Structure 1
């Protein structure tokens, strides 16, 4: 049986709690994530969190030999972007990745972090879709009033895209508030839709492909249709770590950039084979079947370079929601491309 969808208020509170850390908490991070300091040797082993059954861009970069003398130290897995960047901000890891809106939210709490390279996004191959049953009466944004939309978490990528879709299709804030986003575990989302526990299911990746193969569902819209190709998430590091370990950061960022382009220009079958070998080699007893559905990382810009637009959209969205004070942050202050040497100047 699918898990019971979680009510909006509870999940939103949990999400904001993940991001509600103070500058004081950040300053108390572990010494291992602080950097060389005092002119000492720069840190070359980077602690990070991975994901079960998949290969992150840093892991791919390491396997391809793009990280030089920098190595990765896996400390566990995560399914939460906000938790991942919180771990980086508090010094439990050296880098973490999340949806750019979550990065904005964390920065607004005065966490001294900086985005250094994009790592995922949406394109024609990799995207998130909002699906309804084939015979559903839902055909437009207005049809969503009073309906339930199941997604993996609230206050993040998929709720943001839902809000933008409703706004661009003429719904007032009052009417949009009547659309109910609910948290449903990704593995249960398709079943929840088919059993009519929810009216719309947000599906992506292998779960989307499997659901489409089964049939009986159709897309209402996708984030790619809504915004075109765009980079949606970035890896962040603390400003202190960047300052004290500039060579390590440059190697890491440029290596990830090279891995993005390798995955983009290499035949898909070869990329999947490489990823499968990486997962098997690390020996964590993981299922590699889902790797067969990989299409792309979805990063829009060459080498994962970041631009103002990657953050401005979410600054505006969070400002309209009252979660970030308008004018508190500038997009250009949230990221740096200084350490990305992939085809610099090209």
Structure 2
């Protein structure tokens, strides 16, 4: 009898332990809705900062796990390794990931080029010293001849928007990039000083760094520190220039579609709020990236929809990559790059730009 009671007690204890273990390892709603992102202290951080501060991630029960200030150029590799679940990148970054065997898809449009002609909302500015002989693309070949070297262009990284759009701008003006350009890899926040020191001839800057450089130039009386705009992203590459996407690993999409859907809703709310409240979005950004002034911020697609207009812009990026010899003609079509699984999160009543 004692043995039977002992056995019964042991069975009950084991059952209780099993129940407790099940509760411990049962994923909480927060864990089930977690997504890994890299919130970097640069122009890409605004929707993340706004999403946190204005409660958009909380609104949709999205637990963003910040994997730290991973440099932008290293984020595709982090997405490939699984360290990141989502990455905000241009079409060429997406194509490079796919070419390297990483199964990823764009799920929504994030960045866009403004259609209102506002210089401070454009994706990039190319800056030169005020006394530079470079006034336009027609001056590049003469610069090379006069100086016995190529034009040094600062870029955040190669294989991003800065070099692709510079090449496209030169080609459409009948200038051969390989004959005239040398790219120098520098973070945006170092390019202004490098330009003033003569280490580079052109700085290719995103906000808030082009706004800072132009503000510094306008406020100085020292002619050696005066800068001017050589070209802008819209002029260089047209309305496709600022196009970027939230890019997600296909495995994560398959395993956590609701998390992806809620993340898109939160991120696009943050995008739209940033468009509508640019000054406050700039203040939030400046605070988070340790700037002593109000930051300028990107312009974001209000809609987020990947529609026929956006597909045309994707084709512009594909054409530019083909012209640079990065992909073969016809190797990619726009439909290779995105999924429509989350089109219920897109607001098609709003413009993409």
Q: TM-score range by the shorter chain?
A: 0.7 to 0.9
**Which residue in the other structure is 2:130 paired with?**
134
Matched, 1:321 2:324: yes
Q: Which has the larger radius of gyration?
A: 2
Q: CA deviation at 1:252?
A: 0.9
In the alignment, structure 1 residue 160 sits paired with structure 2 residue 195 = no
1:73 aligns with 65
Q: Helix, strand or coil for the counterpart of 1:86?
A: helix
Distance 1:164 1:101 in 2: 13
Q: Is the 8 A contact 1:104 1:311 kept in 2?
A: no
Aligned residues: 294
Q: Which runs of 4+ in 1 moved over 6 A?
A: none
Alignment correspondent of 2:3: none
1:270 & 1:109 partners in 2: Cα distance? 39
Distance 2:260 2:335 in 1: 19
| TM-score w.r.t. length of structure 1 | 0.75
Distance 1:272 1:75, change over 3 A: same
Deviations along 1:98-118, whole A, 9 cap, x unmatched? 222111111122311001123
Contact 1:258/1:303 (CA < 8 Å) preserved in 2? no
RMSD: 2.8
Checking the alignment, whether the CA contact within 8 Å between 2:79 and 2:86 is kept in structure 1 is: yes
- CA separation of 1:134/1:107 partners in 2, compared to 1, >3 Å: closer, same or farther? same
2:102 is aligned to 111
Residue 209 to residue 69, structure 1, CA distance change in 2 (3 Å): closer
Aligned twin of 1:339:
342
Q: Paired residue for 1:64, among 54, 57, 70?
A: 54
1:340: how far off?
4.3
Distance in structure 2 (CA, Å) of the matches to 1:312 and 1:56: 27
Partner of 1:27: none
274 and 194 in structure 1: CA distance in 2 versus 1, 3 angstrom threshold: closer
Q: Quote the offset at 1:275 in angstroms.
A: 5.1
Query: Which runs of 5 or more residues in structure 2 are unaligned?
Result: 1-25, 142-149, 218-225
Distance in 1 (alpha carbons) for counterparts of 2:85 and 2:204: 31
Structure 1 residues without counterparts, runs of 5 or longer = 1-35, 280-285
Tell me, in whole angstroms, the C-alpha distance in 2 between the residues paired with 1:53 and 1:105. 22
Match 1:48 to one of 34, 37, 40: 37
More helix by share: 2
Structure ranking higher in strand proportion: 1
SS in 2 for 1:293: coil
The 3-state SS of whatever aligns with 1:50 is coil
1:160–1:317 CA contact under 8 A, matched in 2: yes
Q: Distance in 2 between matches of 1:59 and 1:43?
A: 22
SS at match of 1:194: helix
How do 1:206-217 and structure 2 match up within 5 A? 206-215=208-217, 216-217=226-227
